[in-house]
Structure 1
């Protein structure tokens, strides 16, 4: 019989001595295992016998925690701690291994996107940390495109010269799953792009719209570093990333009264549930709400 309290003490000692886990980690693991053992004591009617543990017991424990109002993230973390504990018991105490791969934890809700304020978005699309005027123009054109049209970084960097956005003409974007969409283009996007193209110089229509220092298609990592440098130079928050500009596009449209389905179309989300992470709004026309809502539509 493998008793719970002795096994828990041995496990925490192993975490401290061999894994050299932090005191905070050890304390958290200790609480998680204690919760399990307390449940098993009530469930089995006495000192928990871990050698008799079954997957059904673990599922019952997770259901019990959910009924107690414990959130999905906390339950997922607790299940991870319990799996580590049970694998330790298999190695050190000869516990018969359980098919833990068949035990899936609660699904965590995707985090709510973190958007910039309108002032921060304007800083990200107009300021520069570059010494080279050409690279400064390129970065401003790219970041203005991400914010002004709600593009993913991969979608923007896949554009060719023939795709250079122009105000009054919809920009054709190839998104995830080869799904195509048309997004309106702000005058601010066209102006920033024109300045970059002036520095970029002429090329064939199928040449990359955004290029790196050596003339090839701009690498996403280079674009991310450029925004990181700008963030540090201007004091923008740490969550200022290329994807945050896309989130800001949607959030600011939503705040201006844009329809959720219109935002879904503009972002290229296959499911409305993905867009619903932002919130619910009333119905309105796609272009009409875009022109009325976007803070740089002037």
Structure 2
């Protein structure tokens, strides 16, 4: 630390003496006294600047207070730390060019992934500009790349039935039916407890993104297989889904994902099936069957109907049916 102070004093004295005539020794003494109460540390060119790191921590702390979901916080932290390690500048010195160069190294990623990275950076720089930590937002003129207009991948009715048939364990079938019937996210189902289920109304309340609570519903088929699974358990765990082996505990996110993959591999769909596909399937099939889009939006916990609209892709059979039913001849 002392060495850094002395180096800074030498550079400051040299810089000022080139501009105006000064008593070098006198100036060095005064600067030494002034900086004696400061801890100066030189940031090397290959080091992440602590100013940017501190601002990232401040931003993430604010997002946590606002109720951002834990998984989203982890994702934002990873993206911003990756950016900080690449740029290695003070926050106020970062330019739009720096951000373009950073994003250009991910040319192998899909446009949707690039757009996500830029969204995180826009949120970060927009917030610290609003807090007047920096004077200008370097992302203000950067436009997100146009996303591919593709409908979310979902299962056909035939594929869903095939998955049901190859389930071997009561837990497998119960998971599949609960995920499909409720349209819930992985984190929402993973956090459920047995006591959360209202057997009379065949429903439960889940906590979704932004710490928002909503009610979701089970089908008769989901309730039947859920009860069948719970009857096999002799543990005292509160979690709705637990591990198969002792010591019994709440099943984790990765374990649920592996469970879905194992089921799907039995019919050659291992590459296509994961928990979130059940959510896509719920939305697509219910909308295809004539469900009101506002109702589906609320069941999914979408803040905007535009998000739900991406699922409203009618099948060819449904299109023909609608044409025949509503065409004025």
Structure-1-length-normalised TM-score: 0.54
- Superposed, which structure 2 residues align to 1:55-204 within 5 Å? 73=111, 103-109=142-148, 111-128=150-167, 136-164=169-197, 166=199, 168-201=201-234, 203=236
- 1:261 CA displacement: 0.6
Query: Using a 3 Å threshold, how does the CA distance of structure 1 residues 110 and 215 change in structure 2: closer, same or farther?
Result: farther
- 1:169 CA displacement: 3.1
Whole-angstrom distance in 2 between the partners of 1:118 and 1:138: 21
Structure ranking higher on relative contact order (CA contacts 8 Å, 6+ apart): 1
Query: RMSD across aligned C-alpha pairs, in angstroms?
Result: 3.2
Whole-angstrom distance in 2 between the partners of 1:232 and 1:112: 24
Whole-angstrom distance in 2 between the partners of 1:280 and 1:102: 33
| 1:83-107: CA deviation from partner (whole Å, max 9, x where unpaired) | xxxxxxxxxxxxxxxx999644424
Whole-angstrom distance in 1 between the partners of 2:303 and 2:277: 19
Query: Who is 1:211 aligned against?
Result: 242
Of the two, which has the highest radius of gyration?
2
Query: Who is 1:226 aligned against?
Result: 259
Q: Secondary structure at the match of 2:192?
A: coil
Query: Who is 1:265 aligned against?
Result: 298
Whole-angstrom distance in 2 between the partners of 1:177 and 1:151: 15
Q: Count how many residue pairs are aligned between Structure 1 and Structure 2.
A: 184
Q: Secondary structure at the match of 1:183?
A: strand
Whole-angstrom distance in 2 between the partners of 1:251 and 1:239: 16
The runs of 5 or more residues in structure 1 that have no matched partner are 1-53, 59-71, 78-98, 131-135, 282-298
Contact kept, 8 Å, 1:139 with 1:223, in 2: the verdict is: no
Q: Secondary structure at the match of 2:266?
A: helix
